[in-house]
Amino acid sequence: MTSSLPPLLVIRHGETQWNVAGRLQGRRDTPLTANGTRQALAVAARLAETVSSLEDAAFWVSPLGRARQTASILADVWSLPFEQFSEVPMLAERGYGVWEGWAHTDIERNFPEQYSAHAADPWDYCMPEGESRTALTARLRSWLATLDGTRPHIAVTHSGCLRALRGIYTNASRIDILAYSEPQTAAFLLTEGNEVLLGVAPALLRAIGCENEGRTVWI
pLDDT classification of 2: cutoffs 50, 70, 90: very low
Per-residue pLDDT of 135-166, as tens digits, reads: 999 999 999 999 999 999 999 999 999 999 99
Structural domain boundaries, residue 95: 8-190+199-208
Question: Is residue 38 a contact partner of residue 72, using CB atoms and an 8 Å limit?
Answer: no
User: Is residue 1 in some structural domain?
Assistant: no
Q: List the CATH number of the domain containing 13.
A: 3.40.50.1240
Phi, psi of 130 (to 5 degrees): -110, -155
Residue 36 has pLDDT above 70, yes or no: yes
Give the up-direction half-sphere exposure of residue 122: CA atoms within 13 A in the CB hemisphere: 10
Contact 214, 38 (CB under 8 A): no
pTM for the model = 0.95
- Residues annotated as catalytic are 13, 93
Residue 217: the pLDDT is 66
Q: Residue 3: inside a domain, yes or no? A: no
* Average pLDDT of the segment spanning 177-181: 93
In a domain, 137, yes or no: yes
Q: In this structure, are residues 175 and 133 in contact, taking their beta carbons and an 8 Å threshold? A: no
The whole-angstrom distance between residue 22's C-alpha and the CA centroid of its chain comes to 16
> pLDDT, tens digit, for every residue of 56-72?
999 999 999 999 999 99
Q: Residue 156: helix, strand or coil by DSSP? A: strand
Residue 74 CB neighbour total at 10 angstroms = 25
* Confidence at residue 129, expressed as pLDDT on a 0 to 100 scale: 97
